[in-house]
Structure 1
Amino acid sequence: MKTAVMRSIKARYRTRPDHPWPKFPEYAVFRHQGNGKWYALFMNIQRKKLGLSGDGSVDIVNVKSRPELVGSLRMKDGILPAYHMNKEHWLSVLLDETVPEKLVAELISDSFELTSCP
């Protein structure tokens, strides 16, 4: 799913990912072209670091969300408190088919809007 979501972002928002951390070259940040703000961060994280059972890692995307929605969104399977981000404003979304691709796209769209210049 990660590849499909990233392709969709590139087409819809006309932005390309950058890879700001040499230590983690597979991490990809999508930013607004005008203000440089992040609206999506793709990472591959150990399941245990996310509080998930099992071994290995999972692909996630961090997105910004409205604080009044964060709590209810985190009640859905596959939507977690943001890894390494402000948990009041950001979410981590599993990209392992737990969250429907349509919902992932909607969350990215909201994140894009929330991080746009006024």
Structure 2
Amino acid sequence: MLTREDIFKHVEANYGTLPDYPFSKFPNYAVLRHISDGKWYGLVMNVLPEKLGLDGNDGVDILNLKCPPELNDILRNGKDILPAYHMNKEHWITLVLERADPKGEIYKLIEQSFYLTKES
């Protein structure tokens, strides 16, 4: 299982970024931002599964990432990669971290989001 701490270690090591917690109402929501301009490339949240159309009563950690629209339908599988929660569903996806395969493509998707949102 991939955890939010795994994500935070990865982005610090690879992009030099640390999570930012800008929401006083949701102190556990962490934004991943570019150092240069503060633009978001990821958002880690803990939400109830019902908000995602999933079963369960306990909150789950999710990661929202930017993704090219042409890949969204291919990646979304209804299990661990879903339409974006609380973001533009055409350009963003949601990964359910506890269901994500740690040996899968998660870090490649983070890299893709990082470069899609990077200023030119």
| TM-score after normalising by structure 1 | 0.94
The match for 2:7 is 5
Equivalents in 2 of 1:23, 1:6: separation in Å?
Answer: 21
Which one-letter code corresponds to 1:34 in the other structure?
S
Residue by residue over 1:55-86, the C-alpha shift from the partner in whole angstroms, topping out at 9 and shown as x without a partner, is 11100000000110000100263001100000
Structure 1 segments unaligned to the other structure (5+ residues): none
Equivalents in 1 of 2:19, 2:5: separation in Å?
Answer: 12
The 4+ residue runs of structure 1 with deviation greater than 6 A are: none
1:20 aligned to 22, 26, 31, which one? Answer: 22
Q: Structure 1 residue 115 and structure 2 residue 108: aligned?
A: no
The root-mean-square deviation of aligned C-alpha atoms, in Å, is 1.1
Aligned length: 117
Equivalents in 2 of 1:53, 1:94: separation in Å?
Answer: 12
Q: Structure 1 residue 47 and structure 2 residue 56: aligned?
A: no
Structure 2 segments unaligned to the other structure (5+ residues): none
Residue by residue over 1:96-115, the C-alpha shift from the partner in whole angstroms, topping out at 9 and shown as x without a partner, is 0x222241111110000000
